[in-house]
Amino acid sequence: MSHASHSETDGPTYLWLAAIPLSLFLLLVWGLINHSLPWQLELPWVPSLGLSLAFRIDGFSAQMLALITGIGTWVFVYASGYLAHEPRRGRLFVVLILFMLAMIGAVTADNVILLFLFWELTSLTSFLLVGFNHDNPDARAASRQALLVTMGGGLAMLGGLILLGQMAGSWTLSGIVAAGPSLHDDPLLPAALVLVLLGAFTKSAQFPFHFWLPNAMSAPTPVSAYLHSATMVKLGIYLMARLDPAFNDLLFWEVLLVGTGTLTAVWAAVLALRERDLKRILACSTVSALGTLTLLIGLPSAGSGLAVVAFLFAHALYKAPLFMVAGNIDHATGTRSIDHLMGLRRAMPWTAAAAVLAGLSMAGLPLSFGFVAKDVISSAKLEAEVFTLVSYATVLVNAVAVAVAGVAAVRVFWGPPEAPRGQVHEVSWRMVLPPIAIVLLGMEFDFFPALADPLLIAAARSISPGLGEVDLSAAYDLDVLLSATGITAVIGMLFFFAWDRMHEAVHRLRWLDRYGPAALYDRLLHGLTHVAAWHTRALQHGRVSGYLQLTLAALLLMSAYGWLHTERQLAWTWDWPDHAWAWALACLLIVIGAAAAAMLRTRIAVLMASGLVGYGSAVLFLFAGAPDLAFTQFAVETVLVVVAASVLPRYGTSPLPHEPVRISRGVLAAAAGIGTFLLLAHMASLPVNSELADWFGRASLPEAHGHNVVNVIIVDFRALDTLGEIAVVAFSLLAALPLFAGLRKERSS
């Protein structure tokens, strides 16, 4: 709905929060001026595992930080205006700050485990941002989808990073890249790279995981502008570019990245033609741009690194303003459908100006940094001699980008105004200034490319060490570039004028909705609910006997597996222990109690018989050298029998229901007994390792100041475990309090 009629004084504006990313940006600029790269910091973390809190900032990390904090500053300013009338805006700003810090951590972390932690934190915070309007079921579904896809890929990435760390003998990203050439013959390398790329593909919305990004448009526009331009979706690109110097020589790496990137770029361009919502059109174009970046990373040329950083920079400078323009239109008119938007330039002149300038950069036309980026992309493709099919595909993608720029910058602002929709006027300065400032910055870098040279060339050399001397201000041949730009612009304009017809043609491809990746995700999620329901019925049926049977069966299977995969040796001894009579008595009590409990039908009798099993076990513990455990068992059994015997009569004295004899249960019980016996006999045959016991004996007095080693282990060395056991007992008491209250109430009545 439109927010234009509201006043601008609804509570705090939170504009001052923009000082947080601004101060970080200025700190980065100061550091780049006064200190040479790279910057490194290493702090102890888990020394026993060889892990440290390692951070490293080189040229590429510095570029990412500049985008995160620079674009972030304007996003915070924009959000203060866009959310001026949102009562929960304080919560969104808190999550947005956490998200920004997680991104900063992810692009500066050198330790791969630390990188994973920040990586998943970006997924978690983006889940909260996308689902900010939690009253909307579409927002909840979109946030859940984004979380499942990106965090699932993150878990796969963790497995790949662990494999790479083990193969390289280093847990730092820089160490893995340095050791990369020596890993090419390792048979585990393909599996490790596939796992890592799964994480990168899901985060950067590569096919077939692309569908979550357009659906995430349910997020507030400031969030969309930030996620699509400078932060989360670029994180997968960042990781692939980081690892590219180590594995760029591998045909497997090149084919996977070039193939996936090309397919993603083309597929997303086609999907953009199916959309009528302006934000979703821009989102599909973002997916297409991410596919192009993945393609560029996979190219084997040294110039591909410069193409990646230049396009990464240009994309941020035009995509953030375009999303802000879409937000301004929605804020002023109450709709994002291009079917109901036209002729807004008179009512919103400043927003229209920002849209035109950002559209120029997206289309790669002169007067924008996108013009420069398009040249270095073309040079990288020529140097790498890509397949003709890939070249044709990129022409199609660039043409659709021109058409999308035309839709966002021309269609909605020019032409005759639509039917009256009420009073529409320009939004507040806090929503106009950010897109204008960002697009003007992009124009400045077009006229003076040397301003961007130090940052971009340093970033390019970080991911393409073989890059020679480059000067962006003299990087392109105007005649060739203008010719290529003209061809793309002509095709793009044809797409723009035929947008509605092409939309109708592509929209009729209903099989995309039935068999595409998004439909497969829905079917998998639906199937998961059925599997969960079956699993619950099978394992959580509420029958104690069933739980016991499953537990015994699982233990038998694990024991059998261990038995088959070790040297089958049993320890047979006829040396009777000193207290053989006590052991025999204990066994007799246990056997009699177990047999009686199985045959008796009265509840109180079954209780007494089971208590006999407990007393027999206590006797065994007593004469086996564990008197503390024996006395505990005696106490527990006595209390259990006394309390249960006093309570059972209140619930009736009817006999237990008669159940038919089941041979399967008898076989399972016998197998459990025999298996346990064989397992213990096998364990007794193994050599005794006393290292742990000796260590506890030596450390008990000097480190824990205790002579009783058992007590020291329980109270000091396993203090958390003991605390957990105490907590379990305490919670059990709390759970039993309602039962005691019920008994007291029954007695008083």
d(CA 314, CA 303): 17
For residue 78, pLDDT over 90 is answered with yes
Rounded to whole angstroms, how far apart are CA atoms 391 and 397?
Answer: 10
- CA angle 714–720–722, rounded 5-degree value: 45
Confidence of residue 700 (pLDDT cuts 50, 70, 90): confident
Cα 210 to the center of its chain, rounded Å: 15
189-207 pLDDT per residue, tens: 999 999 999 999 999 999 9
Pair (118, 163) in one structural domain: yes
- How does residue 2 score in pLDDT terms, banded at 50, 70 and 90? very low
Same domain, 499 and 519: no
Q: Which residue has the higher pLDDT, 367 or 100?
A: 100
Whether residue 71 lies inside any domain: the answer is yes
d(CA 296, CA 278): 27
User: Within this chain, do residues 251 and 379 fall inside the same structural domain, yes or no?
Assistant: yes
Q: Supply the DSSP string of 712-724, one letter for each residue.
A: HIIIIITHHHHHH
**371: helix, strand or coil:** helix
Instruction: Looking at the structure, tell me whether residues 450 and 531 fall in a common domain.
Output: no
Helices (H), 416-472: 429-447, 453-463
Last residue within a domain, chosen from 465, 492, 509: 509
Tokens of 701: 């007095």
Considering only residues 449 and 150, tell me which one the structure prediction assigns the higher pLDDT. 150
Q: Domain containing 22: what range?
A: 15-509
3-state secondary structure of 111: strand
Residue bearing tokens 């990245």: 257
Phi, psi of 111 (to 5 degrees): -70, 130
Query: Distance (Å, rounded) from C-alpha 462 to C-alpha 441?
Result: 24
Q: How far is the CA of 130 from the CAs of 84, 143, 324, 527, 647, in angstroms?
A: 18, 5, 16, 25, 54
136 pLDDT more than 60 = yes
**Burial of 298: CB neighbours in 10 Å, binned 0-12, 13-18, 19+:** buried
Note whether 456 and 63 are within 8 A (CB): yes
Question: Left (φ > 0), alpha (ψ -120 to 50) or beta: where does 11 sit?
Answer: left
Q: Is residue 128 one of the residues assigned to a domain?
A: yes
Q: What pLDDT is attached to residue 661?
A: 60
Tokens 């320009």 belong to which residue? 426
Those residues whose C-beta lies under 8 Å from the C-beta of residue 126, and which sit 6 or more positions away, are 99, 146, 147, 150, 216, 227, 232
Least confident of 82-86, 169-173, 209-213: 82-86
Structure tokens at 689: 């390792």
pLDDT at 472: 63
pLDDT greater at residue 99 or residue 552: 99
343-366: per-residue pLDDT in tens? 888 888 999 999 999 998 898 887
Calculate mean pLDDT across residues 61-88.
93
Residues 6+ apart with CB under 8 A from 441: 317
State whether residue 215 is helix, strand or coil.
helix
d(CA 299, CA 384): 6
- Half-sphere exposure (CA, 13 Å, Cβ side) for 699? 11
How far apart are alpha carbons 190 and 167 in whole angstroms? 12
Residue 483 counted as domain residue: yes
Please check whether residue 297 is in contact with residue 237, taking contact to mean a CB–CB distance below 8 angstroms.
yes
Residue 331 has pLDDT above 60, yes or no: yes
Q: What is the number of domains present in the chain? A: 2
Q: In this structure, is residue 577 part of a structural domain?
A: no
Are 403 and 520 within one domain? Answer: no
Q: What is the pTM of this model?
A: 0.81
> How many H-runs (helices) and E-runs (strands) does the chain carry?
30, 2
**Do residues 404 and 281 make contact, with C-beta atoms less than 8 angstroms apart?**
yes
- Same domain assignment for residues 520 and 450: no
Higher pLDDT, 63 or 654: 63
Over residues 380-401, the mean pLDDT reads: 78
Task: Kindly state whether residues 396 and 523 are assigned to the same domain.
Answer: no
Distance CA 444, CA 631 (A): 83
| Listed residue (481, 426, 453, 181) closest to 313, CA to CA | 453
pLDDT at 650 over 50: yes
Q: How confident is the model at residue 279 (pLDDT cuts 50, 70, 90)?
A: very high
Q: Is residue 128 located within the same domain as residue 265? A: yes
Confidence of residue 371 (pLDDT cuts 50, 70, 90): confident
Q: Choose the weakest-confidence range: 205-214, 591-600, 654-663.
A: 654-663
- Give the H/E segment covering residue 78: helix 59-82
| H/E element, 500 | helix 499-507
Residue 290 pLDDT more than 90? yes
Bridge partners (DSSP) of residue 46 are 51
Question: Which pLDDT band, with edges at 50, 70 and 90, does 709 fall under?
Answer: confident
Query: How much is the pLDDT for 678?
Result: 78
Q: Is the pLDDT of residue 591 over 50?
A: yes
Most confident of 158-162, 393-397, 678-682: 158-162
Instruction: Tell me if residue 199 falls in helix, strand or coil.
Output: helix
Average pLDDT, the chain: 85
Is residue 303's pLDDT more than 70? yes
Note the pLDDT tens digit of each residue in 207-253: 999 999 999 888 899 999 999 888 888 999 999 999 999 998 899 99
- Residue 649, in any domain of the structure: no
Are 24 and 32 a contacting pair, CB within 8 Å?
Answer: no
What is residue 483's predicted lDDT score, i.e. its pLDDT?
Answer: 58
Domain end position, chosen among 540, 556, 588: 540
> Looking at the predicted structure, is the pLDDT value of residue 3 above 60?
no
Q: Rounded to an integer, what distance in angstroms lies between the CA atom of residue 120 and that of residue 206?
A: 18
Q: Is there a domain that residue 225 lies in?
A: yes
Do the domain assignments include residue 695? no
Q: Is 564 exposed, middle or buried (0-12, 13-18, 19+ CB in 10 A)?
A: exposed
Query: Is 700 contained in some domain?
Result: no
C-alpha 653/C-alpha 632 separation (Å) is 30
- pLDDT-derived band of residue 632, with 50, 70 and 90 as boundaries? confident
Q: How far apart are CA 250 and CA 173, in angstroms?
A: 18
Contacts 24+ apart (CB under 8 A), 609-613: 611/637, 611/640, 611/641, 613/589
Mean pLDDT, residues 275-289 taken together = 92
Question: Do 351 and 486 belong together in one domain?
Answer: yes
Q: What is the pLDDT of residue 206?
A: 93
Q: What is the pLDDT of residue 388?
A: 67
Q: What is the DSSP letter of 51?
A: E
Residues 509-552: tens digit of each pLDDT: 777 777 888 888 989 988 998 998 898 888 888 887 788 888 88
The predicted-structure confidence for 47-60, as pLDDT tens digits, reads as follows 877 888 999 999 99
Q: Which of 634, 662, 645, 572 is nearest to 605 (CA)?
A: 645
**Given this model, what pLDDT does residue 653 score?**
61
* Residue 624 predicted with pLDDT over 60: yes
Distance (Å, whole) CA 547 – CA 532: 18
- Residue closest to 262 by CA, chosen among 365, 383, 388, 369: 388
Residue 746 has a CB neighbour count (10 Å cut-off) of: 9
- 576-590 pLDDT, tens per residue? 667 778 888 888 888
Residue 708 dihedral angles phi and psi, to the nearest 5°: -85, 105
Between CA 642 and CA 710 the distance in angstroms is 30
Cα(22)–Cα(68) distance, integer angstroms = 10
* Same domain flag for 431 and 520: no
Question: Between residues 564 and 631, which one has the greater pLDDT?
Answer: 631
What pLDDT is attached to residue 292? 93
Instruction: Give the per-residue pLDDT at 606.
Output: 82
Q: Averaged over 596-610, what is the pLDDT?
A: 80
Phi, psi of 508 (to 5 degrees): -75, -5
What pLDDT does residue 194 have? 96
The partner residues of 51 in beta bridges, in order of sequence, read: 46
Q: Residues 281, 383: one domain?
A: yes
Residue with the two structure tokens 């709709």:
335
pLDDT above 80 for 603:
no
CB 103 within 8 A of CB 133: no
SS3 353: helix
Quote the pLDDT of residue 542.
80
Instruction: Report pLDDT for 437.
Output: 94
pLDDT category of residue 474 using cuts at 50, 70 and 90? low
Tokens of 459: 């970033």
Q: Are 619 and 630 spatial neighbours (Cβ–Cβ below 8 Å)?
A: yes
pLDDT reading at 418 higher than 70: no
Write out the DSSP string of 394-413: HHHHHHHHHHHHHIIIIITT
Domain identity same for 496 and 519: no
Angstrom CA distances, 3 to 8, 278, 338, 345, stand at 10, 18, 19, 19
**Hey, which of 331-340, 428-437, 489-498, 729-738 has the most confident mean pLDDT?**
428-437
- Encode pLDDT of 7-20 as tens digits: 444 556 788 999 99
